[in-house]
Amino acid sequence: MERIAILQMGHFLLVTIQVDMHDHLAMTLQDDLTNRISKTSARGVLIDISALEIVDSFIGRILANIAKMSRILDAETVVVGMQPAVAITLVELGLSLKGIRTALNVEKGMALLRSSLGDSQGGSMDGDAEK
């Protein structure tokens, strides 16, 4: 069965959505991700949707829900790389995704996660030099 890979990078989980999201896939992702967060006690989740070209209200809501669930499990969520067309669609659908933090690309998203958690936690685990 099709699944979206969840990669672990230190205290962070990295999800890259490379395929068209359909409802079932989104539900599976929500399931997998919450499980992984609790298993790895991750502090941050970064979802890269730069390859996603179409969203509907359901996918939008799932994204918002994932963010809320992560928050409850004590992990920040950052959605990165949203396409302009996708952003316009979400706004027109009335989904402003409050509570989700956003960044332009993965690099900036990582920086945002790190700074929000304090460098001591994220930075050291990543082994990634601060730019």
Partner 1 sequence: MSLNGQSKIPQILKNHEAEVLADWLGEQMAAGIRKDLLKEIELREECREFLELFTDAIQQGNLTNIQSTEWRSVREMLTSVSRTRTQKGFTPTETANFVFSFKQPLFKRLRQELGQNGEALVEEILSASNLIDKLGLWTTEIYQKTREEVILRQQEELMELSTPVVKLWEGILALPIIGTLDSARTQIMMESLLEMIVQTGSQVAIIDITGVPTVDTLTAQHLLKTVTAARLMGADCIISGIRPQIAQTIVYLGVDLADITTKASLADAFVLALKRSGFAIARSKPTI
**Closer to partner 1 by Cβ: residue 36 or 49:** 49
As measured in angstroms, the least distance from the Cβ of 40 to partner 1 is 25
Residue 21's Cα: distance from chain center in Å? Answer: 14
What contacts 24+ positions apart, CB below 8 Å, involve 23-27? Answer: 23/58, 23/59, 26/58, 26/59, 26/62, 27/62
**Closer to partner 1 by Cβ: residue 74 or 107:** 107
As measured in angstroms, the least distance from the Cβ of 53 to partner 1 is 13
Contacts with partner 1 by CB under 8 A lie at: 79-84, 86-88, 90-92, 96-97, 102-105, 108-109
Give me the phi and psi of 87, to 5 degrees please: -60, -45
As measured in angstroms, the least distance from the Cβ of 88 to partner 1 is 6
